[in-house]
């Protein structure tokens, strides 16, 4: 949904990675089932944007005209449009353990490049006129896999930028790739992302590489890199890392790193860790997704790859330690029965955006619905998504 406003607040949607489905027929059925409910509750009288998540298998199927026509017809019938794709999970994302498999293949692997090229081509066909598109993606690789993979990651990202340059020349549509920093990945914090862009993606060698791939002048290649490569700012991830909302946004803007998409999301927060609270966190220790933990004691941060790793060390945790856990919870929840959320961080980001828009693409992303404790799933999925969107809209238009 286009929010309008002055200044222009952009397009607000939700990410369909909350719905299970890897094959195109499964994706189609989930959209047919859920989009009418969400739209009726959020945008009954206006076109509604959709943040579409497609696996590699579904994306390949949508390269065929018949499937593409089915998608276009579905969107037309529901009065919906697509302006952003989630290209983070390549394969299965529901119903079985995903964990660090969510980052495979990483950007050192040609499979990731080919998949993302396919997504960009599809998005260029789906984009309404006068709207630019974004595809969000893994932040390079999982952190422990990074040694000896950086050169391959950088080269494939520049190759993708070259593909986007050609796509723009051929279609007139602008699509950008947005890397999404996440705890325990190559790009974990905003500071690391800024350093990576400066040293690798916006460097003189990157300009020369893109110039060689596209025939652009050095100056035009530099401009193209900044147009087609940017950041997806996931609010949950930033909150888990104890980022400062204002400083993190300003640092990206200062360095000319485009924030192509903001994912509106909220994490679990435990203000003071103790044995009793840790016992109550057990329902959130589930086997499907990776739930990184960052613990803060004073100014010191300790990072854990997954919730069980943090729980194993709780006996040695100093009194007064705060935990933030990468577990996406509904954005309209400020407090849970036993814990808090990082909704306050999200409110700060929305306030910044309200005053000086950060991005034209805003996407609510709470993909963990199926693994949330049952007490938090006391309404239908469609109603919960609409409530999240309406909460975000009210905060933005306040």
Is the pLDDT assigned to residue 275 strictly greater than 90? no
Residue 315 confidence class, pLDDT cut points 50, 70, 90: confident
Q: Does residue 147 belong to any structural domain of this protein?
A: yes
Q: Does residue 319 belong to any structural domain of this protein?
A: no
DSSP 298-359: TTEEEEESSHHHHHHTGGGPPTT-EEEEEEEE-TT-SB-SS-EESHHHHHHHHHHHHHS-S-
Angle at 23 between CA 20 and CA 25, to 5 degrees: 95
110-138 average pLDDT score: 98
Comparing 167 with 7, which gets the higher pLDDT? 167
Scanning the structure block, which residue is given the tokens 């974004």?
134
Q: Let me know: does 26 contact 20? Beta carbons within 8 Å.
A: yes
pLDDT for the residue 276: 82
Longest Cα–Cα distance in the chain: 62
Q: Does residue 386 belong to any structural domain of this protein?
A: yes
Cis omega before residue 199 (within 30°)?
A: no
DSSP 107-171: TTSHHHHHHHHHHHHHHHHHPPTT--EEEEE--SSBGGG-TTTHHHHHHHHHHHHHHHHHHHHHH
375-398 average pLDDT score: 93
Is the pLDDT assigned to residue 317 strictly greater than 90? no
Q: Does residue 237 belong to any structural domain of this protein?
A: yes
pLDDT, the chain, mean: 96
Q: Does residue 87 belong to any structural domain of this protein?
A: yes
DSSP 49-90: EEEEE--HHHHHHTTSHHHHHHHHHHHHHHTEEEEEEE-S--
Is the pLDDT assigned to residue 259 strictly greater than 90? yes
pLDDT for the residue 235: 98
Residue 398 confidence class, pLDDT cut points 50, 70, 90: confident
Report DSSP state, residue 15.
B
Extract the tokens encoding 270.
Answer: 């435990």
373-382 average pLDDT score: 88
Angle at 49 between CA 255 and CA 130, to 5 degrees: 60
- Spatial separation of the C-alpha atoms in residues 106 and 90, rounded to whole Å: 9
Q: Domain of 365?
A: 11-266+341-397
What are residue 51's DSSP bridge partners? Answer: 15, 84
Is the pLDDT assigned to residue 270 strictly greater than 90? yes
Q: Let me know: does 178 contact 226? Beta carbons within 8 Å.
A: no
Total domains, the chain: 1
Residue 21 confidence class, pLDDT cut points 50, 70, 90: very high
Question: Nearest CA to 349 among 258, 236, 271, 269?
Answer: 236
pLDDT for the residue 306: 97
Q: How many CB atoms lie within 10 A of CB 361?
A: 26
Percent of all residues in the chain with a pLDDT value above 90, rounded to a whole number: 91
pLDDT for the residue 395: 96
Q: How far is CA 318 from the centre of its chain?
A: 33
Q: Let me know: does 224 contact 231? Beta carbons within 8 Å.
A: no
Residue 11 confidence class, pLDDT cut points 50, 70, 90: very high
Residue 7 confidence class, pLDDT cut points 50, 70, 90: confident
Extract the tokens encoding 299.
Answer: 């100014």
Q: Which of 61-75, 217-231, 275-289, 331-345 has the lowest mean pLDDT?
A: 275-289
Question: Rounded to two decimals, what is the model's pTM?
Answer: 0.97
172-189 average pLDDT score: 98
Q: Does residue 288 belong to any structural domain of this protein?
A: no
Paired sense of beta strands 322-329 and 340-341, if any: unpaired
Q: What are the tens digits of pLDDT across the range 200-219?
A: 999 999 999 999 999 999 99
What are residue 341's DSSP bridge partners? Answer: 268
Question: Nearest CA to 183 among 16, 316, 295?
Answer: 295
Residue 180 confidence class, pLDDT cut points 50, 70, 90: very high
Element (H, E) at 363: strand 361-364
- Domain with residue 57: its CATH number is 3.20.20.150
Contacts of residue 235, defined as CB under 8 A and 6 or more positions apart, other chains included, come to 262, 263, 264, 265, 266, 342, 345, 346, 349
Contacts of residue 195, defined as CB under 8 A and 6 or more positions apart, other chains included, come to none
- Spatial separation of the C-alpha atoms in residues 303 and 294, rounded to whole Å: 5
- Distance set, CA 357 to CA 75, 242, 259, 262 (Å): 27, 22, 10, 11
Residue 274 confidence class, pLDDT cut points 50, 70, 90: confident
Extract the tokens encoding 100.
Answer: 């660090």
């Amino acid at each position: 949904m286009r929010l309008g406003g002055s200044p222009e607040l952009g397009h607000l949607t939700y990410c369909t990675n909350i719905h299970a489905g890897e094959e195109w027929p499964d994706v189609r059925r989930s959209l047919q089932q859920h989009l009418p409910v969400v739209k009726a509750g959020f945008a009954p009288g206006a076109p509604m944007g959709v943040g579409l998540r497609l696996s590699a298998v579904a994306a390949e199927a949508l390269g065929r005209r018949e499937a593409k026509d089915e998608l276009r017809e579905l969107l037309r019938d529901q009065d919906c449009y697509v302006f952003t794709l989630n290209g983070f999970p390549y394969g299965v994302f529901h119903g079985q353990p995903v964990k660090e498999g969510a980052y495979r293949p990483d950007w050192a692997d040609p499979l990731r490049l080919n998949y993302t090229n396919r997504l960009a081509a599809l998005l260029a066909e789906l984009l309404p006129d006068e709207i630019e598109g974004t595809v969000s993606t893994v932040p390079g690789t999982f952190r422990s896999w990074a040694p000896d993979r950086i050169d391959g990651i950088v080269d494939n990202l520049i190759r993708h930028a070259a593909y986007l340059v050609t796509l723009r020349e051929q279609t007139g549509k602008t699509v950008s790739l947005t890397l999404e920093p996440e705890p325990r990945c190559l790009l974990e914090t905003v500071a690391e992302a800024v350093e990576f862009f400066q040293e690798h993606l916006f460097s003189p060698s990157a300009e020369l590489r893109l110039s060689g791939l596209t025939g652009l002048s050095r100056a035009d290649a530099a401009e193209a890199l900044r147009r087609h490569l940017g950041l997806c700012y996931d609010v949950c991830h930033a909150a888990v890392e104890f980022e400062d909302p204002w400083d993190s946004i300003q640092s990206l803007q200062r360095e000319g790193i485009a924030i192509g998409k903001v994912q509106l999301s909220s994490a679990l927060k435990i203000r003071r860790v103790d044995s009793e609270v840790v016992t109550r966190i057990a329902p959130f220790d589930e086997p499907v997704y990776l739930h990184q933990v960052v613990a803060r004691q004073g100014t010191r941060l300790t990072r854990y790859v997954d919730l069980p790793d943090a729980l194993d060390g709780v006996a040695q945790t100093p009194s007064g330690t705060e935990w933030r856990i990468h577990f996406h919870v509904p954005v309209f929840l400020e407090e849970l029965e036993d814990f808090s959320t990082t909704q306050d961080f999200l409110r700060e980001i929305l306030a910044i955006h309200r005053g000086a828009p950060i991005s034209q693409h805003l996407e609510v992303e709470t993909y963990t619905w199926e693994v949330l404790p049952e007490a938090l799933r006391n309404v239908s999925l469609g109603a919960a998504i609409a409530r999240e969107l309406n909460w975000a809209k009210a905060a933005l238009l306040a």
